[in-house]
Amino acid sequence: MAAHLKKRVYEEFTKVVQQQHEEIATKKLRLTKPSKSAALHIDLCKATSPADALQYLLQFARKPVEAESVEGVVRILLEHYYKENDASVRLKIASLLGLLSKTAGFSPDCIMDDAINTLQNEKSHQVLAQLLDTLLAIGTKLPENPAVQARLIDVACKHLTDTSHGVRNKCLQLLGNLGSLEKNVAKDAEGQTTKDVQKIIGDYFVDQDPRVRTAAIKAMLQLHERGLKLHQTIYNQACKLLSDDYEQVRSAAVQLIWVLSQLYPESIVPIPSSNEEIRLVDDAFGKICHMVSDGSWVVRVQAAKLLGSMGQVSSHFLEQTLDKKLMSDLRRKRTAHERAKELYSSGEFSSGRKWGDDAPKEEVDTGAVNLIESGACGAFVHGLEDEMYEVRIAAVEALCMLAQSSPSFAEKCLDFLVDMFNDEIEEVRLQSIHTMRKISNNITLREDQLDTVLAVLEDSSRDIREALHELLCYTNVSTKEGIHLALVELLKNLAKYPTDRESIWKCLKFLGGRHPTLVLPLVPDLLSTHPFFDTAEPDMDDPAYIAVLVLIFNAAETCPTMPALFSDHTFRHYAYLRDSLSHLVPALRLPGRKLLSSPVSPSITPHEDPSQQFLQQSLERVYNLQHLDPQGTQELLQFTIRDLQRLGELQSDLAGVADFSATYLRCQLLLIKALQEKLWNMAAPLYLKQSDMASAAAKQIMEETYKMEFMYSGVESRQVVIIHHMRLQAKALQLIVTARTTRGMEPLFGMCEKFLQEVDLFQRCFITELPHLQDSFVDKLLDLMPRLMTSKPSEVVKILQATLRQSTFLHLPLPDQIHRASATIIEPAGESDNPLRFTSGLVVALDVDATLEHVQDPQTIVKVQVLYPDGQAQIIHPKPSDFRNPGPGRHRLITQVYLSHGAWTEPCQIEVRLLLAYDSSTRISRPACLDSAEALPLVENSIEGTIPFSKPVKVYIMPKPARR
Amino acid sequence: MPEIKVTPLGAGQDVGRSCILVSIAGKNVMLDCGMHMGYNDDRRFPDFSYITQNGRLTDFLDCVIISHFHLDHCGALPYFSEMVGYDGPIYMTHPTKAICPILLEDYRKITVDKKGETNFFTSQMIKDCMKKVVAVHLHQTVQVDDELEIKAYYAGHVLGAAMFQIKVGSESAVYTGDYNMTPDRHLGAAWIDKCRPNLLITESTYATTIRDSKRCRERDFLKKVHETVERGGKVLIPVFALGRAQELCILLETFWERMSLRAPIYFSTGLTEKANHYYKLFITWTNQKIRKTFVQRNMFEFKHIKAFDRAFADNPGPMVVFATPGMLHAGQSLQIFRKWAGNEKNMVIMPGYCVQGTVGHKILSGQRKLEMEGRQILEVKMQVEYMSFSAHADAKGIMQLVRQAEPDNVLLVHGEAKKMEFLKQKIEQEFHVNCYMPANGETVTLLTHPNIPVGISLGLLKREMALGLLPDAKRPKLMHGTLIMKDNNFRLVSSEQALKELGLAEHQLRFTCRVHIHDTRKEQETVLRVYSHLKSVLKAHSVQHLPDGSVMVESILIQATAHSEDPGTKVLLVSWTYQDEELGSYLTSLLKKGLPQAPS
């Protein structure tokens, strides 16, 4: 009853609000349209002091102005502008002009002349700058008008000689944004002297103010972005700017050089102080490398980032970036990397570590040592050792990109990447592990490198370990010792962090699959088989043993000789694991055994796929039935739903589609059931008790439709219509049920009106889709709309009831790709018998770790819900940084949930689950229905809710009373 | 000519006893005041009598600057200020001020209490000396007096190490002290802006070395420790109390944390605890990582590292111990070493250089049998490892700093002469600047060309700007005005204003010149011819024919008279003022060429 009351209150409330709102809105529109400019005029005339005027203008700026009245407002503003003596007011007016000219639907060419005129007499530099800004706004609104552009450029050029840096900045900005492109130059050639914008901007590269220099470079970059081809001559100027005193100038200059190097990679530039010449891209690369050791870290980050995208650079230069000639006391020394390599190749790896091991060898010719190379020498060595981790990350990223394009470079940078695994900042370590994974196709790890890589497996950060497992999946190992080492370390890891089980198994699966020949000689050792004696059968539940078996079985898949080495129990274990961990253990061709399931040959296209066909057929069957007896329909629906669910379980790639259709059919089934009830014909009072079933059905359909709409990714507008249509039907059902169960007409009025509004909204939002909805509920309803609008609520209800019964079942077209959002909570596991004890009233942090699949934008919509045994529910919004994105469509939530409660006498279980929050207005409010000014009621109607989408996990907790 | 004079009293072509005298624009500054580790006689302190024979040091020196707390940079300070006598200001950074007295006290104790020297400074003297210290912040400009200002830059190396810029007017010098251009686990890299000093005085300890990446060394170190601990062995790391010890602690601490290891790490007590306390306090002087994470946890509050007790050395199971001193020549580290040397599972890691004759040096050079006191023979079975962690800039780092600061001259100190030679040559070759490397007591004199600021009146500036075209950036420009030198400052004003200010009447200087022209016609006609000729040539100027029969070009007057003797020759009288000199001389030369033949 309470809920019922609440609903009524809510309905009445909304009704009132809406009426008021509409009235006011219409009145306002009528009143303000003509008076807006007038009011401003009066206000400004009233203003006695500049401060007053400023206040009025500020107030005015808060309200939007309609496109029609913009021009009037502008005139008034300008009029006042000429009269005004105070610079700050003029400034505000100028900025308002800019804002107004941006108004949608207003063409600002009519005010351009005025704006330019105001420039003539202006003395204040700030106002001038603001006016130029306004012109920029005007110019960007009229991109198709070359005459306007030319004029604005003229204006800009004229003011470039201004003494204030602000004005010059704006002029350059104007030039950058509006400077004519070369295509137009040819066209304009008939007389107008089109200025060479690039030359003008280039002149300001040597301006005395660093801000202006920066603006000039930015303007040049802007030109480039707009598609103008920059001249190669700028390159020399830009190079000079690299040694500027100001970091923002250098930073911009680095960008400009990069742009030029991409434009003219192959042109030849001379090397100063010698006769040689090199390619421009190489020269630029050297220069940018040089900036990696700049004094300002902003520039260093910029330079390191850009290095990564210079793929055309010659390999000779590229490899220099990793080169740093070591010396000690003027004698050449080998780097630790070289030494490690040598030790490795000479076969004595572990011995020979003593003082003087790195003793310098040959003498260095003092003349030949170049301490500051102008080239790329050691750029990455510096970048990776930088103090700021931002620079290091940028350098690692750049390394990654360059290594992806050059296998030989990948081989060389390996040592450095491996070194980064020991960085002090976790982010950097993680980034370098990811980088390594990305380039792992190009590389083979040496044993000593593998050693270092594997050492990181003991890291206490889960992210790092998992990233490393991922890396190992793709790594090529060169020797069987390497494989053994990796296995040993992984098992160590497993012993130390048992939660990594899944990840380690998966890693070993790939490791085995990649290196069958290397695993083969290890098999007897790993299985501890003996040629003569039978050994004890290992424990089948030991995760470490399973890990070893996963490695071996995956290797055996491509190595037919391997099963001969297995002992009897290994075959038994194989059979067991093949069943229980089928995603990790492949089907083996074992002697004396037939393959049970032949894998689906990839030649079968999805349409020929039998399961796909089955799905289509069963749906067809349902949609085709129109005139079956109610009983039969229900049964068929039930069976189909069951089939679809089972299909979804069997075929993971069809799960989304199957679930989606099953949900839809279930809605339909509920609707049919509700309508089939015999009780509809009874008199209202008698009906009271039995209404439960129908209203529950209505409610459930609503819930299911929300699920359909928000839980599946890949839903298109065609489906959204059908879903909304279903929801409309549910609402109609609700209305009918309420009409039957309540006495009196008062509440019904509001409900009817609301329903009709909704129908109206439906029609407006999906006007394009209406032709597809022939014969449907809404189709019929819209035909009857004029009648409905005028008739009484009881009439409406009757009509609705009839329409609902007659309407046909809509065919739900299936989208190509549809996935159901799902979540699995990995932690807390919910198995613990030890309660989490804490003092009541204080908080305890519960670590939650979950994987989310097919959730779009989880940062905003995924919430964690905690349900206490007393029914108290708590919803927690995780921080955006708690979400990680390990792969496409996958997300990982690692967060902490704070629990607190009063004291309990017994430990008890709380439930933790994940929710998907939705807002019903988000999907419909597409631009299609936004053009109408009355988009407001939409927002009012939006219903926010949540859908649980993970299995709840129980956590045992025990708040103790506080001790005194 | 203005000049900068530099005289190293210590650290000239040498390491140790850093003490450099700089006189710049009449101001005398002493940079560092250190002692020499290698000597125990008078040579351990700089020879302060060089500064002034008789008379007080305070009168001669404007200030003393200490770059960091290492004894070879501050060890002689109490002797200098209290025993020799100096009452002027001493500048150092806050951490240096905090840690320096601890080290001085320790040094005093060893010298007086252990070696029994007399005539050495006392604890009270250290305290009195520290009272004269003024602490400075990074990048804070401190006005020592009206003209002399100093500014500190971050130098890495040890906690609180700074580079100092000394500036008088437009002349400046930068002294780097010891610095490190690569960041380490607890300190950042040295940084300086493009201050373009006249002189950069830089250390050059590793002038001929280019070092390998720090990461390899760190990784090796950690791997060795980790392996030994996993085997159940004990690791001994002999260190000096300050500097590297903290770096290694952080390194091990984070590694223990990352790998969740359990084995205990101990740190021998004493100096270190006090020092660690200061490391905790001066978080702003550490590197990015520590600065960013200290809100959650101060990295110097070690979780895994505990204080060491002598009894712990006999505990079973793995452990890591940091013990002083660093060269295994005495004290706790040697005691522990003797206990553990016999077991091949154990390991000793020497993190730095060892002087010849110490146990450290012997075992590093591979000696396996050591003769200890009392003819005991100690067999060393434990593993001996060497790991170099040094916090000085290498050759590349030095070059990088020179490039950042863009000095006019470079002066090398704090290094060996032979190595300096190489670096000097490189610097001269790459940067094309002069490089000096004076020995102790040798004075280097550099000429400077300081800029002299001149004030200019706005009116004049605007007037002159209007004459030229665009104001071109950073290009010299010619302008006319009067320079007034009054009250020790310079001003450039227009000549009218100068006259007014000085109360002088304006004198007019007029040049007149006669030009003879052969012309038989009448004077009037000659004048007309001249007029039309000038009119056609000087299009940009106003040429007038006045009713009194003369011609005016701008303000230049031209009159013609007949020659008294030869009527066929006319004399043109050209007269112009000094201001119009340019045009006037042009006109005369023009007229001297003669008039063009009249068409008539």
End-to-end CA distance of chain B: 67
Judging contacts by C-beta atoms under 8 Å, the chain B residues touching residue A388 are 288
Q: Quick one: average pLDDT of A685-691? A: 55
Query: What average pLDDT does range B579-591 have in this prediction?
Result: 83
Half-sphere exposure of B329 (CA within 13 A, CB side): 10
Helix axes A717-741, A746-765, angle to 10 degrees: 170
A828: cis peptide before it, omega within 30°? yes
Can you tell me the distance from the alpha carbon of B378 to that of B381, in angstroms, rounded to the nearest whole number? 9
Task: State both tokens at A915.
Answer: 């929710």
Sheet holding B444-447, edge to edge: B133-136, B90-93, B63-65, B27-31, B19-24, B3-10, B444-447
A29: confidence class by pLDDT, cuts 50, 70, 90 = very low
Nearest-by-CA chain A residue for B404:
A295
pLDDT-based confidence at residue A299 (cuts at 50, 70, 90)? very high
- C-beta separation of B22 from B13 below 8 A: no
Contact present, B576 and B510 (Cβ < 8 Å): yes
- Which of B82, B203, B218, B385 is catalytic? The answer is B203
Instruction: Flag the least confident range among A79-83, A86-90, A681-685, B309-313.
Output: A681-685
Residues of B in contact with A325 (CB under 8 A): 210
Measured distance CA(A130)–CA(B474) in Å, rounded: 28
pLDDT given for residue B366 in this prediction: 82
Partners of residue A959 on adjacent β-strands: A838
User: Are A335 and B365 an interchain contact pair (Cβ–Cβ within 8 Å)?
Assistant: no
Q: B182 contacts in A (CB within 8 Å)?
A: 385
pLDDT tier at A884, thresholds 50, 70, 90:
confident
Q: Cβ distance B174 to B206 under 8 Å?
A: no
Amino acid code (one letter) for A139: G
Of A378, A387, A461, the CB nearest to B287: A387
CA dihedral (A693, A699, A703, A706) positive or negative: positive
| Secondary structure (DSSP) of A106-130 | --THHHHHHHHHHHHH---HHHHHH
Distance from CA of A208 to the nearest CA of B (A): 5
Q: What is the pLDDT of residues A853-878, one digit of tens each?
A: 888 888 888 888 888 888 888 888 88
Same domain, B131 and B193: yes
Q: Which residues contact B266 (CB under 8 A, 6 or more apart)?
A: B305, B306, B307, B308, B309, B312, B319, B320, B321, B322
| Structure confidence at residue A358 (pLDDT) | 47
Beta strands in B11-130 (DSSP E): 19-24, 27-31, 63-65, 90-93
Q: How far is B32 from chain A (nearest CA, A)?
A: 26
Pair (B404, B381) in one structural domain = no
Residue B600 lies in a domain: no
Of B257, B365, B473, the CB nearest to A207: B473
CATH number at residue B161: 3.60.15.10
pLDDT given for residue B6 in this prediction: 94
The interface predicted TM-score (ipTM) is: 0.79
> What average pLDDT does this structure show over A423-431?
86
Task: Specify the higher pLDDT residue, A495 or A786.
Answer: A495
Residues B198 and B70 in one domain: yes
Contact call for A388 and B288, based on CB within 8 A? yes
Interface test with B, best of A289, A424, A428, A463 (most B CBs within 10 A): A424
Query: What residue spans of A475-595 are helical by DSSP H?
Result: 480-496, 501-514, 516-519, 523-527, 543-556, 568-580
The answer to whether position B308 is within a domain reads yes
Closest by Cβ to B470, choosing from A161, A328, A420: A161
CA distances (Å), origin A438, targets A417, A443, A884: 12, 10, 18
Residue B599 lies in a domain: no
* pLDDT confidence band for A12 (50 / 70 / 90): very low
Residue B203 lies in a domain: yes
Q: Residue A85 and residue A333: Cα distance in Å, rounded?
A: 74
E strands, B444-509, in order: 444-447, 455-456, 482-486, 489-493
Are residues B395 and B366 part of one domain?
A: no
Q: Is the pLDDT of residue A25 over 50?
A: no
- Predicted local distance difference test score (pLDDT) of residue B190: 92
Q: Are B276 and B246 in contact (CB under 8 A)?
A: yes
Asked if A135 and A95 touch (Cβ cutoff 8 Å), the reply is: no
Is residue B598 domain-resident? no
A794: which 2 tokens?
């009881």
**Calpha distance B579→B585 (Å, rounded):** 11
How far is A314 from A328, CA to CA, in rounded Å?
30
Q: Are residues B33 and B135 in the same domain?
A: yes
CB atoms within 10 A of CB A816: 8
Q: What is the pLDDT of residue A188?
A: 44
Confidence of residue A626 (pLDDT cuts 50, 70, 90): low
CA distance A739 to A399: 70
| Mutation target among A358, A372, A461, A489 for the B interface, most CBs of B within 10 A | A372
Backbone dihedral region for residue A854 (phi beyond 0: left; psi -120 to 50: alpha; all else: beta)? left
What integer is the mean pLDDT of A904-927?
Answer: 74
The whole-angstrom distance between residue B96's C-alpha and the CA centroid of its chain comes to: 18
For residues B144 and B291, state if they share a domain.
no
**DSSP helix/strand/coil, B315:** coil
Reading the block at residue A949, the tokens are 């989408």
Q: What is the helix (H) or strand (E) element at residue B513, kind and residue range?
A: strand B510-518
Residue of higher predicted confidence among A398 and A180: A398
Q: Which residue has the tokens 């259709």?
A: A661
pTM over 0.95? The answer is no
Q: What per-residue string of b and e applies to B18-46 under the rule 16 or more CB within 10 Å gives b?
A: bbbbbbbbebbbbbbbbbbeeeeeeebbb
d(CA B484, CA A567): 107
The secondary element (H helix, E strand) that includes residue B217 is helix B214-231
- In one letter, which amino acid is A324? K
What is the per-residue pLDDT for B291? 84
> pLDDT value at position A118?
81
pLDDT at B407 (0 to 100):
93
Which candidate in A237, A249, A387 is best for mutational testing of the B interface (most B CBs within 10 A)?
A387
A335 vs B216: CA distance, rounded Å: 9
The count of other CB atoms within 10 Å of the CB of residue A371 is 20
**pLDDT tens digits along B228-264:** 998 899 999 988 767 778 888 888 888 888 888 888 9
A355: which chain B residues are within 8 Å (Cβ-Cβ)? 350, 364-366, 384-386
Q: Which of A371, A433, A462, A464 has the highest number of chain B CBs within 10 A, making it the mutation to test binding with B?
A: A371
Provide the shortest C-alpha distance from residue B568 to chain A (in Å): 57
pLDDT digits (tens, 9 = 90+) for B119-169: 889 999 999 999 999 999 999 999 999 999 999 999 988 889 999 999 998
Give the pairing type, strands B444-447 and B455-456: unpaired
Q: Which residue has the tokens 């701008």?
A: B554
Q: Which residue has better confidence, B198 or B508?
A: B198
Q: Do A385 and B222 touch (CB under 8 A)?
A: no
Determine, for residues B213 and A335 on separate chains, whether the beta-carbon distance falls below 8 Å.
yes
For the cut 60, the answer to whether the pLDDT of residue A686 exceeds it is no
CB within 8 Å of B104: residues ≥ 6 apart: B71, B74, B75, B77, B78, B126
Which one-letter amino acid corresponds to residue B439?
A
Say how many C-beta atoms besides its own lie within 10 A of residue B82's C-beta.
Answer: 19
Going by pLDDT thresholds of 50, 70 and 90, the confidence category of residue A824 is confident
Task: Decide if B154 is inside a domain.
Answer: yes
Residue B245 lies in a domain: yes
Same domain membership, residue B289 and residue B353: yes
Name the minimum distance, in Å, from the CA of B185 to any CA of chain A: 8
Question: Has residue B473 been placed in a domain?
Answer: no
Strands A908-919 and A953-960: what pairing?
A: antiparallel
Report d(CA A167, CA A183) in Å as an integer: 29
pLDDT over 50 at B425, yes or no: yes
CA dist., res. A125 & res. A162, Å (int): 8
Q: How many angstroms separate the Cα of A875 from the Cα of each of A881, A917, A945, A953, B41? A: 18, 10, 12, 15, 76
Please give the span between the terminal C-alpha atoms of chain A, in angstroms, as a whole number: 45
Question: What does the mean pLDDT of chain A come to?
Answer: 77
Question: Across the interface, do B384 and A355 touch by the CB < 8 Å criterion?
Answer: yes
Query: Which residue blocks in B324-445 are alpha helix, DSSP H?
Result: 331-340, 359-364, 395-405, 417-431
**Do both B51 and B178 map to the same domain?**
yes
CA angle A382, A388, A389 (to 5 degrees): 95
Q: Chains A and B: how many Cβ contacts under 8 Å?
A: 121
Mean pLDDT over the full length of chain B: 85
Which secondary structure element, helix H or strand E, spans residue A620, and what is its range?
Answer: helix A610-624
Tokens (6 digits) for A741: 């169960």
Q: What is the CATH number of the domain that holds B577?
A: 3.30.310
Contact B289 A425 (CB under 8 A): yes
Q: How confident is the model over A58-73, as pLDDT tens digits?
A: 888 777 777 777 778 8
If asked whether residues B326 and B223 sit together in one domain, one would say yes
Q: Looking up tokens 């329909």, which residue turns up?
A: A633
Phi and psi at A591, nearest 5°, equal: -65, 135
Residues A793-814, mean pLDDT to the nearest whole number: 77
Q: What is the mean pLDDT of residues A145-162?
A: 82
Nearest CB among A354, A381, A387 relative to B288 is that of A387
> Which residue in the block uniquely carries the two structure tokens 């300890």?
B205
Q: Which domain holds residue B146?
A: 3-210+391-447
Q: With pLDDT > 70 as the criterion, what percentage of chain B qualifies?
A: 96
pLDDT top residue among A28 and A833: A833
Distance CA A432, CA A415 (A): 11
Which is more confident, A498 or B67?
Answer: B67
Which candidate from B209, B259, B403 shows the least CB-CB separation from A372?
A: B403
pLDDT surpassing 70 at residue B49: yes
Note if the bond before B325 is cis, omega within 30 degrees. yes
Q: Enumerate residues 6+ apart whose C-beta is below 8 A from A509.
A: A473, A550, A551, A554, A584
Top-confidence residue, A531 or A360? A531
- Both B397 and B516 in one domain: the answer is no
pLDDT of residue B296: 81
B140 or B545, which is more confident: B140
Which two structure tokens, joined as six digits, stand for B272?
């270190």
- Domain total in chain B: 4
Question: Rounded CA gap, B29 and B91, in Å?
Answer: 11
Asked whether residue B457 falls in the same domain as residue B379, the answer is no
Distances (CA, A) of A841 to A848, A867, A895: 21, 17, 21
Quick one: DSSP state of residue A232?
Answer: T
| Residue labelled with tokens 């609440």 | A6
Instruction: Grade residue B469 by pLDDT with cuts at 50, 70 and 90.
Output: low
Q: How much of chain A, in percent, has pLDDT values that exceed 70? A: 80
Residues A752-769: pLDDT tens digits?
888 888 888 888 777 777
Active site residue B203: yes
- Looking at the structure, tell me whether residues B382 and B531 fall in a common domain: no
Q: In chain A, which residues have their Cβ closer than 8 Å to the Cβ of B227?
A: none
